[in-house]
Amino acid sequence: MDSSKLLGITTFIYMFSSVIYLALFVFRMKKIGLLATVVTIIGLLVNTAGIGMRWLESYQMGIGHAPLSNMYESLVFFTWSIVLLYLVVEFIYKNKVIGAFAMPFAFGSMAYASLSPEFSDRITPLVPALQSNWLIAHVFTCFIGYAAFAVACGTGIMYLVKLRDKGDSPNSLLATLPPLKVIDDITHKIILFGFIWLTAGIISGAVWANSAWGTYWSWDPKETWSLITWFVYASALHARFTRGWGGKRIAWISIIGFLAVIFTYYGVNFLLSGLHSYGAS
């Protein structure tokens, strides 16, 4: 079995995990909570094995590079990061219902990587622009940030859903969600975590750009949208620290910010040409 098949299996494991978490939330089936977590951990382990196997296969082919060089590989790593961060959040807050809002992002990312005809799962040599020791540092930091924003988007949606809870019945569907204050705290902390990693990603990218193209910043579309995304989250954090913003405002910003992430990550590659266009392959 090669890495592509192993990663394909991962897609179905995450689908199963998402379904269990959704069933846990919709049908209030607390007994399957442990199953949901176990399946998710198994998916993460298989995902990790697939990434490691793909890395090994590239060396066996004489290419030898980290599996982070194209859209397929980056989506796989993006998925891995989302799942890892979600499991950390579940462990800290002891609430499995959050998975119903976070794991679908992981499944969607993995399914798109595995099933989309746009991407090839073949291992290919690095293009000259990617032949740098900065590849791992830049991609790793950016995608940890992106993954955090994906989870924050999920908790932001969860907050807006929870707002509809009138508290009429302790057995209602929305009553199973964490209190609004807890969801708000989770969202804020995840955004802060993601912002730190995105900042590191932009800085490492600038250093890499200087070594590759002789300039730290060239206003390439990818760079420009990365900066826009950074400002969206920077504004949210600034407003929270200085004006006490929270609740509904931060929930909406987490969703809008993640839309900016999606455009930065995916839209720019296919809609705007620039120095990063090689990433669309």
pLDDT in tens, 7-24: 999 999 999 999 999 999
The DSSP code for 32 is G
Judge whether residue 61 has pLDDT over 90: no
Asked if 165 and 232 touch (Cβ cutoff 8 Å), the reply is: no
Asked if 83 and 49 touch (Cβ cutoff 8 Å), the reply is: no
Enumerate residues 6+ apart whose C-beta is below 8 A from 56: none
pLDDT at 172 (0 to 100): 72
Enumerate residues 6+ apart whose C-beta is below 8 A from 208: 132, 134, 135, 137, 138
Q: Which amino acid is at 182?
A: V
Spatial separation of the C-alpha atoms in residues 230 and 189, rounded to whole Å = 16
Place of tokens 């590659």: 269
179: closest CA among 196, 195, 197, 165? 165
Length of the chain: 281
Enumerate residues 6+ apart whose C-beta is below 8 A from 14: 40, 43, 79, 83, 103, 106, 107, 110, 111
pLDDT, tens digit (0-9, with 9 covering 90-100), for 178-218:
999 999 999 999 999 999 999 999 999 888 888 877 788 78
